[in-house]
Amino acid sequence: MSEVVVVRGRLVLASSVVDDGVVVASGGRVEFAGSVVDALEAGHGPALEQVAPAPGTYVLPGLVDLHNHGGGGASFPDVTTAAEALPGVLEHRRHGTTTLVASLVTAQPEVLVQRAGVLAELAEAGEIEGLHAEGPFLSYRRRGAHNPADLQEGSVELVRDLAAAARGYLRTMTVAPEVPGVTGPGGVAEALVEAGVLPSLGHTDGTTEQAEALIEQVTTALGAGAGHTTGRHPLGPMTATHLFNGMRPLHHRQPGPIAACLAAAARGDMVVELVGDGVHLDPATVRSVFDMVGADQILLVTDAMAAAGVADGSYELGPMSVVVHEGVARIAMPQAAPGEPEEEGPIAGGTAHLVDVVRCAVRGGVPLVDAVRSATAVPARVLGLTGEVGALVPGARADILVTDADLRPLRVLRHGVNVDVAGA
């Protein structure tokens, strides 16, 4: 008989918090999630006898991060073996991210293909959910931390090579709609959807109309059932990569891509990423977007890089050198001449864990259940994993995060098994 696991505390469900809640799991799957009273009525009394009330804790679904470049000193865009990448996965896992998509950055095509093959090994082993390619079909002007020498026009051939190297685990790819070869018949967006990969609009200096054209093309293709779901729930909707960051700013006479993304999210055609870590976005911006489009159209993500969970210092992000100071990662800039002010480089990813992003959103005024849903159920839906991860419902994987009242991790379970949280 499988061991029964019981976790008790303030249970955060999709739209409410159960003050005295409990999750009962067996065989790595959730059997029950709800109030203690209902658990007793459902016959789980014997399992509950050994578990005391825990009013000072929250019980959340395991978190799901769709945009993550590494942590614990490991940089996913730079690893040459799966073993090198695993510390980054475990760094986030012990902070409650039980489902993770590993992100690459713009690089030479042969490097991207090689890295995709390495990370596919981790996906096949069940350590990560898949891969996200951020680039190389991005705007030069809005490239952020991406190497300008490696940016290129849209290439269907590279898409196919990446998808093949990833062995079915390439989940999303960030593209700029104005880059030649991305939109339209025979372009990158079409090839991505056909391969079962979600295009994500980002790092763009495009107009509202260019963004709208990509959104319409992808939404129509997904609605027509294009692409492969490999036995999952349908993929989508498409996403926007870290909305606001790496985009032409919203201006009332030149609205750019942000206006198109917000409108698409409001009507349900897009889910927008927010790096709500207090560095990439002001908490008021995060709160305002939740008010505008609702939690079900928002993905809270980390955009984490190798320095997540470790000390300030010098790091690599693909071919770019990064300096982390007081937890903020920026591209390293040439030393200024004597008497000249130091130039501040672009932000180069985040150093937070996803639970930190949830905490920052809640402190900024986002309701707890909304912030949690945007870090669990919404990314699970985008990945086609509804009912499998992202929610504590019967039959789902027993991925559980227990935190204190300030959303600091206390315990993490994945597949119903305790994760070593030492150092979390």
- Amino acid of residue 409: P
- Amino acid of residue 139: S
pLDDT, tens digit, for every residue of 293-311? 999 999 999 999 999 999 9
Residues 113-133, mean pLDDT to the nearest whole number: 98
292 lies in the same domain as 337:
yes
330 lies in the same domain as 206:
yes
411 lies in the same domain as 290:
no
Residues 174-196, mean pLDDT to the nearest whole number: 97
32 lies in the same domain as 72:
no
Q: Is residue 199 part of a domain?
A: yes
Q: Is residue 131 part of a domain?
A: yes
Q: Is 190 a residue whose pLDDT tops 60?
A: yes
Q: Give dist(CA 265, CA 209) in Å, integer.
A: 16
pLDDT of residue 301: 98
| Tokens of residue 162, six digits | 């990446």
Residues 4-16, mean pLDDT to the nearest whole number: 96
pLDDT of residue 336: 55
Q: Give dist(CA 391, CA 399) in Å, integer.
A: 9
- Given a contact cutoff of 8 angstroms between Cβ atoms, the answer to whether 271 and 281 are in contact is no
pLDDT level of residue 224 (50, 70, 90 thresholds): confident
User: CA angle at residue 349 from 146 to 86, to 5 degrees?
Assistant: 100
pLDDT level of residue 3 (50, 70, 90 thresholds): confident
User: CA angle at residue 76 from 106 to 290, to 5 degrees?
Assistant: 80
> pTM score, two decimals?
0.95
pLDDT of residue 344: 79
pLDDT of residue 339: 63
Looking at the 3D structure of the chain, how many domains does it have? Answer: 2
Give me the percent of the chain exceeding a pLDDT of 70.
Answer: 95
CATH number of the domain residue 8 falls in: 2.30.40.10
pLDDT, tens digit, for every residue of 315-371? 989 889 999 999 999 998 866 556 665 667 899 999 999 999 999 999 999 999 999
pLDDT, tens digit, for every residue of 329-343? 999 886 655 666 566
| Highest-confidence segment of 16-25, 41-50, 330-339 | 16-25
Q: Is residue 139 part of a domain?
A: yes
Residues 165-169, mean pLDDT to the nearest whole number: 96
pLDDT of residue 421: 87
- Neighbouring-strand partners of residue 365: none
Q: Give dist(CA 406, CA 203) in Å, integer.
A: 34
Give me the percent of the chain exceeding a pLDDT of 90.
Answer: 89
Residues 256-264, mean pLDDT to the nearest whole number: 98
Return the HEC string of the chain.
CCCEEEEEEEEECCCCEEEEEEEEEECCEEEEEEEHHHHHHCCCHHHHCCCCCCCCEEEEECEEEEEECEECCEEHHHCCCHHHHHHHHHHHHCCCEEEEEEEEECCCHHHHHHHHHHHHHHHHCCCCCEEEEECCCCCCCCCCCCCHHHCCCCCHHHHHHHHHHCCCCEEEEEECCCCCCCCCCCCHHHHHHHCCCEEEECCECCCHHHHHHHHHHHHHHHHCCCCCCCCCCCCCCEEECCCCCCECCCCCCCCHHHHHHHHHHHCCCEEEEECCCCCCCCHHHHHHHHHHHCHHHEEECCCECCCCCCCCEEEEECCEEEEEECCEEEECCCCCCCCCCCCCCCECCECCCHHHHHHHHHHCCCCHHHHHHHCCHHHHHHCCCCCCCCCCCCCCECCEEEEECCCCEEEEEECCEECCCCCC
Q: Is residue 387 part of a domain?
A: no
Domain that holds residue 151: 63-382
351 lies in the same domain as 364:
yes
Q: Is residue 412 part of a domain?
A: yes
- Amino acid of residue 190: E
- Amino acid of residue 395: G
- Residue 87's Cβ-count burial label (10 Å; 0-12, 13-18, 19+) is middle
| Tokens of residue 387, six digits | 């009912």
pLDDT of residue 392: 98
pLDDT level of residue 1 (50, 70, 90 thresholds): very low
43 lies in the same domain as 190:
no
156 lies in the same domain as 248:
yes
pLDDT, tens digit, for every residue of 86-121? 999 999 999 999 999 999 999 999 999 999 999 999
- Given a contact cutoff of 8 angstroms between Cβ atoms, the answer to whether 383 and 235 are in contact is yes
71 lies in the same domain as 51:
no
Residues 238-254, mean pLDDT to the nearest whole number: 96
Residues 383-392, mean pLDDT to the nearest whole number: 96
Q: Is residue 55 part of a domain?
A: yes
Q: Is 233 a residue whose pLDDT tops 80?
A: no
pLDDT of residue 345: 87
pLDDT of residue 146: 95
Instruction: Describe the strand order of the beta sheet including 417-418 as a list of residue ranges.
Output: 29-35, 17-26, 4-12, 57-61, 400-404, 409-414, 417-418
Question: In angstroms, what is the C-alpha Rg of the chain?
Answer: 21
CATH number of the domain residue 350 falls in: 3.20.20.140
252 lies in the same domain as 117:
yes
pLDDT level of residue 79 (50, 70, 90 thresholds): very high
- The CA distances from residue 54 to 20, 88, 103, 271, 371, in Å, are 8, 31, 36, 35, 22
Average pLDDT, the chain: 94
Q: Is residue 388 part of a domain?
A: no
pLDDT level of residue 133 (50, 70, 90 thresholds): very high
Q: Is 234 a residue whose pLDDT tops 80?
A: no
